[in-house]
Amino acid sequence: MKDFEFLEHTADLRFRAWGNSLNECFENSARAMWSAIIKPESVALDEEWEIQIEADSIEVLLHDFLSEFLFLFETKGYIFRDFDVRIQGKKLTAVVRGERFDPRRHRIEREIKAITYHGMVIKEERRKWSATVLCDI
């Protein structure tokens, strides 16, 4: 099973991510998003952050989780490559690793403006999780 794939979309970025658990599905969703923004192999794992989010649904949890990365990138210049997610009930705790964006070493492949709720689907089938996400570019 692959971690994620990019799906056809006329104007925006759409991807589907999978996981053997909901945690892994969220991790692979973050990998998909960052793979669209920057070449993952160019990102060093120099710094570590903890992200905590609470939400009333798993869709809002995924939306807010991915949106937090865009906020950290836009406000502090952080880029990410490694994700360790733990979801318990309505709370997500993640340890994420990456570094500050350096224009001498990194190139933005695609700019993502926002994560949308449009067409977001998170489901479990045969003990495997999948998430479909549409990003506004």
Residue in the structure block whose two tokens are 């224009």: 103
Domains of the chain: 4-136 (3.55.10.10)
Helices and strands per DSSP (H, E), number in the chain? 2, 8
Q: Can you read off the two tokens belonging to residue 120?
A: 């977001």
What band does 11 get if pLDDT is binned at 50, 70 and 90?
confident
What is d(CA 99, CA 4) in angstroms, rounded to the nearest whole number? 23
The reported pLDDT for the residue numbered 1 is 65
Asked whether the predicted pLDDT for residue 128 surpasses 70, the reply is yes
Mean pLDDT of 12-26: 97
Residues 61-70: pLDDT tens digits?
999 999 999 9
